[in-house]
Amino acid sequence: MSAPTSLARQNTLLLAAAFILIELLAALALSVYLLLPLARRSADDLASLMILSAQTWAELPPQTRVDFEFELLANHALALRAESPGVGVDEWHPPYFYLLEDALANRTGTRQHLVRESVADTIWYWINLPAGHGHLAVGLSQQRIDAQPVTALLIALLGGLALAGGVAVWLARRITAPLARLEQAATHIGQGESPELLPETGPTELAALASRFNAMARQVRELLMARTTLLVGVSHDLRTPLARMRLALELLKLAPTPALIARLESDIEEMNGLIGSLLDLARGLEREPPVTLDLAEWLTDLATDFSTPERAITVTCPPCQRAVPPRALRRAVGNLLQNALRHAPDTPAELVCEIDGEHCRIGVLDRGPGIPPDQIETMFQPFHRLDPSRSPATGGAGLGLAIVRELARANGWDVRLEARSGGGLAAWLCV
């Protein structure tokens, strides 16, 4: 089985063949519709001049014929002589002389072949033409017809072939070079490396392909960074409850008490909550079939689930029907609502829904301390918290917003945090 041909070689051959075919068609059209009609017209004019010259010579007085022959040779490169050149044979002539034979045959009614004769290193062609009551030999030099269409076509074809090959190679390399860079970059990604982003230039299709690849490379880079962050964060956050559990176990050996057992149970719950958050983050990339929901009713039910007798959550939402994955939407909005309740416990929380063209914006609004503008983007990173102490009493594991962003990416949503005028934070989820 033969090895597959490279794309550059295939494109080079196809482009070269296309250029050659176009050149041949152009040469054929030029010859048939331009050069051949002009050559026939020229041959007919020359045949008319040759016949007229022979007839004029016969009608002139004998003493003026020499001057007429000299003027005809000097001005029109035609020669006259009384003796017959003989009978011509059908031999090869330059293409123009075949047209001249046809033109002479049409005007005289007799088909003759031109007689070829060498005179002083010059080729002459002679033919007998009617002159008065007899015939006169009329000749013309081959140099009088300087046109060489066959040579011109051959030079044009050979030059066009070389040019077509060069252009085909250049175009093939220009087309395949971005694909070669894409193949190298994909190989680097497959090896776990972080390749350089491709230039998003060139034809529309290649620029779009480079843009898609760059977006994928950025996602892979972010996933690798998130993986490293997750491993570091999990090891850090699990180490604290494990240390407390080890201490509690040592104390239980000396004097078991209900407080130590409760402490162990609390640490186990903390570890279980962290593991559950990590599973939620992992499930954020899973696809879920959409279901048409009435967002006003859905948000009311969600607010009821999160409200307490001490703190009710208000809902403001016009009628809005949307096809969304319900579990993913509940996890995303629920995480935003939990953040609002945790960080703004003494202020009212609101759930709002706004219709923005073809999209609906679900907002979770609070009047808490808010987030500094320069920290908003970093808050979406796993395990990132404003409180550096990482105490469970002041916040969660730092995975809530990371889970919301992963859910948004997986479902084509947009999530953003904005500072509210008058204090507080507005978290918007555009679905």
- Could you tell me which residues are beta bridge partners of residue 349? 313
Question: Are 139 and 85 contacting, i.e. CB atoms less than 8 angstroms apart?
Answer: yes
What is the C-alpha separation between 101 and 113, in angstroms, rounded? Answer: 7
Question: Are 233 and 382 contacting, i.e. CB atoms less than 8 angstroms apart?
Answer: yes
> Domain for residue 208, yes or no?
no
Judged against a pLDDT cut of 70, whether residue 417 lies above it is answered with: yes
Same domain, residue pair 26 and 137: yes
The residue among 151, 170, 201 that closes a domain is: 151
> Residue type at 348?
P
% of residues, the chain, pLDDT over 90: 0
The residue among 235, 254, 283 that closes a domain is: 283
Same domain, residue pair 279 and 328: no
Same domain, residue pair 308 and 244: no
Q: What is the pLDDT of residues 158-176, one digit of tens each?
A: 777 777 777 777 777 777 7
Same domain, residue pair 302 and 316: yes
Higher pLDDT, 374 or 37: 37
CATH code where residue 301 lies = 3.30.565.10
Question: Are 202 and 180 contacting, i.e. CB atoms less than 8 angstroms apart?
Answer: no
What is the C-alpha separation between 425 and 418, in angstroms, rounded? Answer: 6
The whole model's pTM is what?
0.46
> Residue type at 157?
L
Domain that holds residue 260: 213-283
> Domain for residue 338, yes or no?
yes
Same domain, residue pair 400 and 426: yes
Burial bucket for residue 289 (CB in 10 Å: 0-12, 13-18, 19+): exposed
Q: What is the pLDDT of residues 87-138, one digit of tens each?
A: 666 677 778 888 888 898 898 888 888 888 887 778 888 888 888 878 888 9
> Domain for residue 366, yes or no?
yes
Q: What is the pLDDT of residues 309-318, one digit of tens each?
A: 777 888 888 8
Higher pLDDT, 426 or 398: 426
- Check residue 1 and give its pLDDT: 45
> Domain for residue 400, yes or no?
yes
Q: Which residue is listed with tokens 């033919």?
A: 127
> Domain for residue 183, yes or no?
no
Same domain, residue pair 137 and 255: no
Same domain, residue pair 254 and 301: no
Dihedrals φ, ψ of 139, to 5°? -125, 155
HSE, side-chain direction, 13 A CA sphere, residue 270 = 23
Higher pLDDT, 277 or 196: 196
What is the C-alpha separation between 196 and 331, in angstroms, rounded? Answer: 35
Q: Give the distance between the most distant pair of CA atoms in the chain.
A: 155
401 — pLDDT class (breaks 50, 70, 90): confident
Same domain, residue pair 350 and 408: yes
The residue among 238, 268, 283 that closes a domain is: 283
Would you state the structure tokens that stand for residue 50, as one six-digit string?
Answer: 């040759």
Same domain, residue pair 25 and 47: yes
Judged against a pLDDT cut of 70, whether residue 393 lies above it is answered with: no
User: How many domains is the chain built from?
Assistant: 3
Q: What is the pLDDT of residues 141-155, one digit of tens each?
A: 877 776 666 677 678
Collapsing DSSP to helix, strand or coil, 356 comes out as: strand
Q: What is the pLDDT of residues 325-376, one digit of tens each?
A: 888 888 888 888 888 888 877 788 889 898 877 778 899 998 888 888 878 7
What is the C-alpha separation between 161 and 144, in angstroms, rounded? Answer: 31
> Domain for residue 202, yes or no?
no
Same domain, residue pair 317 and 394: yes
CATH code where residue 126 lies = 3.30.450.300
